[in-house]
Amino acid sequence: MADETPAGVDVRDVLPQLAQLSNAFSRGHLVERATAATGLALDRPAMGALLITSMADRPLRIGEIAERMQVAGPHITRQVQELERRGLVRRIADPLDRRASLIEPTEEGATATDRYTSTLVDFFSDAIAHWSAEDRADLGRLLKRFAADVTARLTD
């Protein structure tokens, strides 16, 4: 059957749990609570752009931010301009191409991102605190794999 994994687990069995998680995140306003913890009035796309720049291992071009967020470049340009206006990111010259700019978080932007991620980490850590270390490790390993595979399929 096309819906089954090689081990015979029917994928349809987890669809209710995926819907339950999606609904719980939306109803619980988890993203909104984490954004409020930053002390900034940012909408979801702006917070996403700030997160991408803060979690990157280097400054990014606008196109790289858009690619990582899976949205169109012009949309990200507007978000970055607003974040820059608010002092949360800054543009620096691309050393490989002086015509291009790279975007990196300012200290204030990085601090806001730390507060946001701490809120999420605390929430999820509390939710699975009673799990065994092995179960938490399995969740992390499988969730990384699942996210990578789903993202790859959606970007094909």
Q: Give me the residue spans of the domains in the chain.
A: 14-118
pLDDT of residue 25 exceeding 80? no
* 65, 32 Cβ separation under 8 angstroms: no
Given pLDDT bands bounded at 50, 70 and 90, which one contains residue 80?
Answer: very high
Residue range 14-118 in CATH 1.10.10.10 = yes
Helices (runs of H) and strands (runs of E) counted in the chain: 7, 2
Picking from 57, 46, 68, the residue whose alpha carbon sits closest to that of residue 104 is 57
pLDDT at position 19 is: 86
Q: pLDDT of 47-79, one tens digit each?
A: 999 999 999 999 999 999 998 888 877 889 999
Helix (H) or strand (E) holding 130: none
> What does the alpha-carbon distance between residue 113 and residue 119 come to, in Å, rounded to a whole number?
10
